[in-house]
């Protein structure tokens, strides 16, 4: 088994990388709407419809919404078709997903593939992190589990640091990945960044200097159950797999379940909604585990929750239009990352406050920055959400060929983020 895993670090094990979907999306469509040309009532009616699966919201005010046929989607289709601000961009989600699967199958049956040439299952990713840590034991520590998910899958973590890595006062940068199950590029990008840090340390002076100063803490799977289900059930599944009392609909949106202004807008009390916030703040075991691990690893100076899609760099707050106490600094961090990203492949990401898109509450990135998360932290963590490629051509079904360029443009942004917060961390929250 160890020899197999070693081989998979260089050449992907293609036999385990073809999804076995059980859900059919016949009748599902995707519309693109311009909220600037809609009344607030029209926007609200779309967002709150039980058949609405919000796919993306953009800085220009446009948003993509999938109409789910199984949830009375035809009613929503008729509503959207009558709105001049909306037009259909995908007439068959079933065909859209089938094309992605066919491309993966074709991709995987060709010549030998490098690890970042394709997406991988939960089990393979878990083994990959463990073996990478074994190969780079001087830089990387693998934690098999920070806790288990609702379906008893382990949520691992890795720590990456250079000289004096045992220093408990070392500034830390915290990443968490794959909170939304269908956003596969999130987990792939986290792997790319981790791999770059440990393999570049001997030869890249910038990486070496940074890792000798700070430590990266990475949680690869916030939502392992949901991710597994996107491989063996529903490729477009978003939430965890929790059963909900009194409802046949499963799952809680973990990125509406954090204990930061929970249920104060931009989430739903309907268990059938894609943004169902759960029965209470941090009600989900996956949320509890990640909140706990974050607090175990102070001092944390910055944190990123990785998502897709829309190409956005989002800073607090999501629940209110009021500027955060560190708005000037957080804006500068986001703008600087934006420049670093664009310099690699010319991709344009938008840096803005989260609420600039739409209200959200109970999100991980707001929690990273908020009071509860930072109680006992000698600094205040700069919390960000990063929405990765693309802007809607492929959406959640980003081709494997996009993994490497996405990772390449994120590496300098991450280095810039960490360097800036090492030099000048945010001041701690003052308690009266």
Query: Could you give the 3-state DSSP secondary structure of residue 140?
Result: strand
Beta bridge partners of 54: 65
CA distance 412 to 214: 16
Instruction: Determine how many CB atoms are found less than 10 A away from the CB of residue 193.
Output: 22
Q: Is the dihedral of CA 305, 184, 9, 115 positive or negative?
A: negative
Set 118, 284, 387, 409: catalytic member = 387
CA distance 274 to 276: 6
Q: Which residues contact 360 (CB under 8 A, 6 or more apart)?
A: 255, 256, 265, 266, 267, 318, 319, 354, 366
Q: Nearest CA to 185 among 27, 65, 347, 297?
A: 347
HEC string for 188-242: HHHHHHHHHHHHHCCCCHHHHHHHCCEEEEEECCCCHHHHHHHHHCCCCCCCCCC
The question of whether 387 is a catalytic residue gets the answer: yes
Query: Could you give the 3-state DSSP secondary structure of residue 87?
Result: strand
Q: Catalytic site residues?
A: 387
């Amino acid at each position: 088994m160890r020899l197999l895993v070693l081989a998979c670090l260089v050449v992907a094990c293609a036999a385990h990388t073809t999804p076995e979907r059980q859900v059919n999306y016949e009748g599902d469509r995707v519309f693109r709407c311009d909220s600037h040309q809609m009344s607030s009532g029209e926007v609200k009616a779309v967002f709150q419809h039980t058949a609405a699966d919000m796919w993306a919201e953009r800085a220009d005010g446009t948003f993509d919404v999938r109409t789910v046929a199984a949830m009375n989607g035809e009613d929503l289709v008729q509503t959207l078709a009558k709105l001049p601000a909306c037009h259909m961009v995908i007439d068959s989600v079933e065909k859209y997903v089938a094309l992605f699967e066919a491309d993966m199958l074709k991709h995987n049956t060709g010549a030998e593939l490098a690890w970042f040439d394709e997406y991988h299952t939960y089990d393979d990713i878990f083994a990959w992190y463990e073996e990478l840590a074994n190969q780079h034991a001087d830089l990387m520590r693998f934690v098999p589990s920070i806790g288990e998910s609702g379906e008893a899958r382990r949520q691992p973590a890795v720590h990456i640091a250079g000289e004096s890595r045992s220093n408990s006062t070392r500034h830390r940068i915290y990443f968490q990945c794959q909170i939304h199950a269908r956003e596969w590029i999130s987990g792939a990008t986290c792997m790319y960044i981790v791999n770059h840090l440990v393999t570049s340390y001997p030869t890249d002076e910038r990486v070496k200097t940074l890792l000798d100063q700070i430590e990266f803490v990475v949680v690869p799977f916030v939502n392992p159950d949901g991710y597994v289900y996107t491989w063996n059930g529903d490729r477009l599944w978003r939430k965890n797999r929790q059963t909900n009392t009194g409802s046949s609909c499963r799952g809680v949106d973990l990125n509406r379940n954090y204990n930061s202004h929970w249920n104060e807008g931009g989430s739903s009390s309907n268990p059938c909604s894609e943004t169902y916030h759960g029965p209470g703040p941090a009600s989900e075991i996956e949320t509890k585990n990640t909140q706990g691990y974050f607090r175990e690893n102070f001092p944390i100076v910055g944190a990123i929750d990785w998502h897709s899609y829309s190409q956005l760099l989002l800073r607090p707050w999501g629940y209110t239009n009021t500027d955060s106490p560190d708005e000037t600094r957080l804006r500068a961090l986001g703008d600087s990352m934006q420049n670093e990203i664009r310099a690699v492949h010319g991709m344009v990401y938008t840096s803005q406050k989260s609420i600039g898109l739409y209200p959200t509450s109970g999100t991980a990135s707001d929690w990273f920055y908020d009071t509860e998360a930072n109680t006992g932290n000698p600094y205040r963590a700069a919390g960000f959400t990063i929405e990765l490629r693309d802007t809607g051509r492929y959406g959640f079904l980003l081709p494997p060929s996009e993994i490497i360029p996405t990772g390449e443009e994120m590496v300098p942004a991450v280095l810039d983020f960490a360097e800036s917060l090492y030099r000048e961390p945010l001041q701690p929250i003052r308690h009266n």
